[in-house]
Chain A
Amino acid sequence: MFGYYLNLAVRSFKRNKALTVLMVLAIALGIGASMTTLTVFHVLSGDPIPDKSDRLFYVQLDPETMQGYRPGEEPQNQMTRFDSEALLAQKRGLRQVITNGGNVVITPEKPGAAPEFTDARYASSDFFAMFDVPLKYGRGWTAAEDEGKARVAVLSKETNDKQFGGADSTGKTLRIDGNDFRIIGVLDAWRLVPRFYDLYNDQYDTTEGLFLPFSTSRDLKMGTQGSTNCWGDSGGDSRSLTAPCAWLQYWVELESPAKAADYRNYLVNYSDQQRKAGRYERPTNVRLRNVMELMEFNEVVPGDVRLQLWLAFGFLLVCLVNTVGLLLAKFLRRSGEIGVRRALGASRSEIFKQCLVEAGTVGVAGGLLGLVLALLGLWAVRQQPASYASLAHLDGSMLLSTFALAVLASLLAGVLPAWRAMQVAPAIQLKSQ
């Protein structure tokens, strides 16, 4: 019967072209808009490191003085250098990383080439292993090199392409902020979405061009980037070891999510000790969030994107109500035909099915057109200035969802009209003929 109903549906489209086009258009617009925004949302809110997002934890302590203290408040969102280095030295996790952003000047080897700024990431040695950074050539630095403030650097693929034409540049020298650095590694193509390890620089920016040991960056007093919060006198240098300033990100990788409780206890102990030693004043207040918890807490997905998502679904709802109305008009217009079918023995449920098939067909057509509109919409998003714009692409799962959503939406829209259509009494219709 399905084939027959499909045939009937197509015939009915031909008979009522204008009405059908209106319905397909309404569904397509609704689906196009909601899939565009849903895709952007999906890309931005996805798990950036699915294999270990539940084992990577962001550490926060509360090293402030009692001034401005309000019980129950969040601790500082970043770490002091003193605490970071202390925790790093104690090595209580599987891996641990201090990291921070910076901006440095590269002076190209080529004579006459102008020096240029590039974003840099300063990190301790576990960074590459912890965040699964793929290396094309060479290696990351070792803990010993980090401790020894070695002048070594790892380049991003883009920087290596630009400075060395994509060749294996390990062993070569690069002048960074006026100092010579030995290149020991080159990344393969790598981009985290979002760049969750540092939420205090542009989260959707591309990967930094350069990676340097954290200790070296401090040794050379290289410029940092991101927010800094100080609550006391830093003696003119907010980056010094003892400055009462929070400006670093500290990450720990644990063997399993279950180890988090132990690690939290360790942080509580550390905090208590610091207070006993007179460094901390506030009651112990630690946070240990995994990747997804951190992203959710910091509302990483931009507010505008959430707003657009709601708006698009509101729009889809209007389109659906519209489709319900039009389908109703369409089916009831055919009351005569339905009456005849009923009189010839078709059961109510058959009429219902026939109407739903017709509604579903509208949905498929609307879905196809909606897909085109979504592609168009995503293209429009990519033309926007936001740093996440270039990420807005439709993937396989979103493609399937588009169809599923379109068909589901149109079936849903078809239920009420189909219900009304099957109530048509055969006798009355025949009489009025």
Chain B
Amino acid sequence: MEFRPILSTLMRHKIAATLIVLEIALSCAIICNALFLIGERMDRMNMPSGIAETELVRIQAASMRQLSGDDALNTSITREYLDALRKVPGVKSAGIANQIPFGGSSNNSGVRLSDEQQHSTLNATVYLDEGNLLENMGLRLVSGRDFTADEYQDMAVLEKSGDQARIPGAIINRSMAEKMFPGQNPLGKVFYSWGESPTAVIGVIEDLARPNSVGQGPYAMIFALREYGPGLHYILRTEPGRRAEVLKAAVVALKKTDPNTLVVNNDTFDEIRAGFFEQDRSMAWMLVVVIAALMLVTALGIVGLASFWVQQRTKQIGVRRALGATRGQILRYFQVENFLLASAGIVLGMLMAYGINQLLMAKYELPRLPLFYLPIGAVALWLLGQVAVFWPARKAASVPPAIATRSV
């Protein structure tokens, strides 16, 4: 097939051709970026939490007795609750947590590598382990060890020592270990976070997500501290199939232990994750709708202009047919023409996609558009163009040769 005659025809319809190229380019640019944004949201939604999500349920509860309660009362109520929960059939283990991955509110602290350091190296979220956090939440140790029984301290006691407070050992997640001690063995290394005393890394876990603010980096650390305030999260580990049943029985057990129990939340971790990322999911769906609508509008535009061209060139097509051009050749003519227009649009569109990405990077702190989104967008638009032009092209191919002899 010869490109030259197609090109010279297009040159005679500069405005219409430019409009199609522009429309394809704009669509291409928006679609590439929208696909990329969808990918970003999906990555966020699938972010690992590090905990055994399918085996866990959470109950956030407080007793009315705790409202004016002191530390001793808080401790005894929390222990009562834990005892009651451990007896619920199907519960493999039970524990408390000051915060949970994707739970929302969080406790965070700056972390420095030396005592003199003025600015924090990173900001990590602080999980407090009251006794069996690793085992209860299903966290996986990569290296080092879990806390030993004599390492646990009471928060109430620790707080009284002010700046002299000591957190001798901590378990940190791998992201934090790699950020603080790149390429080194983190075990035994120290950092400074709470108070003025150093804290040594005694263990490293694979993953542990933050409760919120993903923007601060995926850094988390665990201290062996018992804190029994109201509104704690009770985390129960069970079998995946028994979660609903366990949750129901656990709430009943708490109310039975203490009729004044206020249950703020009771849910599975699937529900917690779904709730936390709800906004991302609806944004991703919205982007899907935008992509679909853009493709529809672009296709309609191509159909409209192509059928106009076919109508305009009816006579020319008739002459070509009379001179021996086959239907296939006419069909191919329009499809090649569309391919050329789409290609020009796609090249321009990719430049624009890159430009829009630069803006997004600056305004929304998004990462650079990975190159593989560009061919996806390109192929999608090429296919779209070919499909859209097929109907007008077939109409062109069906122009009878005899039309060449007619006057209109």
Contact = CB atoms under 8 A, between A and B. Distances in A.
Contact of B160 (A117, A236, A329): A236
Interface string B25-41: 01101100010010000
Nearest to B263: A114
Contacts of A223: 230-231
B301 interface: yes
B30 A318 contact: yes
B286 A308 contact: yes
Nearest to B21: A321
A237 to B, nearest CB: 8
Contacts of B1: none
Contact of B279 (A105, A319, A386): A386
A22, A308, A325, most chain B CB atoms within 10 A? A325
B68 interface: yes
B298 A326 contact: no
B68, B230, B294, B298, most chain A CB atoms within 10 A? B294
A137 B379 CA distance: 66
Interface stretch (A143-151, A180-188, A309-317): A309-317
A321 B22 contact: yes
Given A29-B297, A236-B160, 13 more contacts: A19-B304, A68-B120, A70-B119, A105-B67, A105-B262, A115-B64, A178-B67, A178-B68, A233-B162, A311-B287, A319-B297, A326-B305, A386-B279
Interface of B: 15-16, 19-20, 22-23, 26-27, 29-30, 34, 37, 64, 67-68, 110, 118-120, 156, 159-160, 162-163, 195, 230-231, 260, 262, 264, 275, 278-279, 282-283, 286-287, 290, 293-294, 296-298, 300-301, 303-305, 307-308, 311-312, 360, 363-364
Nearest to B109: A230
Interface string A227-259: 000000101100000000000000000000000
**For this complex, into which size category does the number of interface residues on chain A fall?**
35 or more
Nearest to B27: A318
Contacts of B163: 233
A13 B19 CA distance: 22
B304 A22 contact: yes
A321 B160 contact: no
Contacts of B360: 307
A11 to B, nearest CB: 19
Given A69-B118, A178-B64, A318-B27, A326 B301 contact: yes
Contacts of B308: 329-330, 332-333
Contacts of A328: 15-16, 19, 305
At the interface, is chain A mostly helix, strand, loop or mixed?
helix
A167 B77 CA distance: 38
A385 interface: yes
Given A115-B262, A385-B278, A314 B67 contact: no
Contacts of A420: 15
Contacts of A386: 279
At the interface, is chain B mostly helix, strand, loop or mixed?
helix
Given A178-B67, A233-B163, A318-B297, A117 B19 contact: no
A322 B23 contact: yes
Contacts of B304: 19, 22, 322, 325-326, 329
Q: When A and B form their complex, which 7 residue pairs have the shortest distance between CB atoms, in order from nearest?
A: A329-B308, A236-B159, A322-B301, A385-B278, A325-B19, A233-B162, A321-B23
A417 B34 CA distance: 31
Interface in A297-314: 303-304, 306-308, 311, 314
A271 B296 CA distance: 61
A2 to B, nearest CB: 27
A317 B26 contact: yes
A33 interface: yes
A321 B290 contact: no
Interface in A328-355: 328-330, 332-333
A369 interface: no
B302 to A, nearest CB: 9
Given A318-B30, A322-B301, A386-B279, A107 B64 contact: yes
